[in-house]
Amino acid sequence: MINIKKLTKEFKGLKALSDITMHFNSGKIYGLMGPNGSGKSTLFNCITGIINDFRGSIESEVLDNYKHNISYLQSELFFYPKMKGIEYIEFCMKASKIEIADILKWNELFDLPLDRYANDYSTGMKKKLMFMSIFILNKKIILLDEPFNGVDESTTEFILKALQIFSNDKNLIIVSSHHSNQLIECSNQIIYLQEGQVQKTFEPKEFSLISSYIDEGILAKKIKILKEQIEPLSKNE
């Protein structure tokens, strides 16, 4: 559904993304892993059009204007002051020209105080409100940037199962996370980004190798450097 070719984005001469080529199919969930600063959020912002001064191309062979078919949960959440939870949901539906749904019935999934100001919600409650709007809008492309941070375990399990239902409805879902556990549970493929480049792509039969790939490769390299730095300090004692 989305083709990314030779995508490069620089900030003040530093490459956040470097010559990335990817293909995402509908009806699947893709996991996006990588440390802080690896380019995950930048990639999402390029796909949505928040960032548009990049080199390369992002296209869809299925959707004429794919950006109008995106629901995006950003890692940093923002809500207008004095906007109640239910008003936020209604605003999202009106903006997407969707008829008013049975919001209270949808809220049985999340149990939110919709009559309170969304900006006063806890982080987990804000995430739940965003998930409710995403599910109601049911866009063809769903981008989730660190969606499970601040969310309790029972809600996380529900979201993981819900994402599988939505992907089976031929939606494309891309989920980013620092952690592999949730991605392994829901993804059809996991892509590991580091320093703005695709380091490795894991298929389901390789998911068990992710931890060892990080520990034996990236972590082992850092431990080696640490020991090299500590050794001269020890000699000076």
pLDDT at 233: 62
Count how many domains the chain has.
2
Structural domain for 237, as ranges: 207-237
Cβ within 8 Å of residue 109, ≥6 positions away: 132, 135, 158
Q: What is the average pLDDT across 142-148?
A: 94
Same structural domain for residues 156 and 121? yes
Distance CA 9, CA 6 (A): 10
pLDDT at 62: 75
pLDDT at 201: 94
* Contact assessment for residue 210 and residue 178, using Cβ atoms and an 8 Å cutoff: no
Same structural domain for residues 129 and 235? no
**Model confidence pLDDT, tens digit, residues 15-69:** 999 999 999 999 999 999 988 888 999 999 999 999 999 999 999 877 788 898 9
* Contact assessment for residue 112 and residue 124, using Cβ atoms and an 8 Å cutoff: no
**Model confidence pLDDT, tens digit, residues 169-178:** 789 999 998 8
pLDDT at 235: 63
Q: Which has the minimum average pLDDT: 3-12, 128-137, 204-213?
A: 204-213
Same structural domain for residues 179 and 237? no
Same structural domain for residues 165 and 111? yes
- Strand bridging mode 197-202 / 189-194: antiparallel
Same structural domain for residues 70 and 134? yes
Q: What is the average pLDDT across 195-208?
A: 92
Q: Which has the minimum average pLDDT: 23-37, 106-120, 170-184, 222-236?
A: 222-236
**Model confidence pLDDT, tens digit, residues 181-191:** 899 999 999 99
Average pLDDT, the chain: 90
pLDDT at 187: 95
Same structural domain for residues 18 and 81? yes
Same structural domain for residues 72 and 147? yes
Cβ within 8 Å of residue 93, ≥6 positions away: 99, 100, 101, 133, 136, 137
Task: Tell me the whole-structure pTM to 2 decimals.
Answer: 0.89
b/e code 75-105 from CB counts within 10 Å (16+ = b)? eeeebeeeebbbbbbbebbeeeeeeeeebee
User: In this model, does residue 232 exceed pLDDT 90?
Assistant: no
Same structural domain for residues 123 and 18? yes
Same structural domain for residues 77 and 176? yes
Same structural domain for residues 219 and 150? no
- Written as six digits, the tokens of 116 are 């309170």
What residue type is assigned to position 194 of the chain?
Q
Same structural domain for residues 217 and 115? no
Same structural domain for residues 7 and 98? yes
Q: Which helix (H) or strand (E) holds 157?
A: helix 153-168
Distance CA 4, CA 113 (A): 40
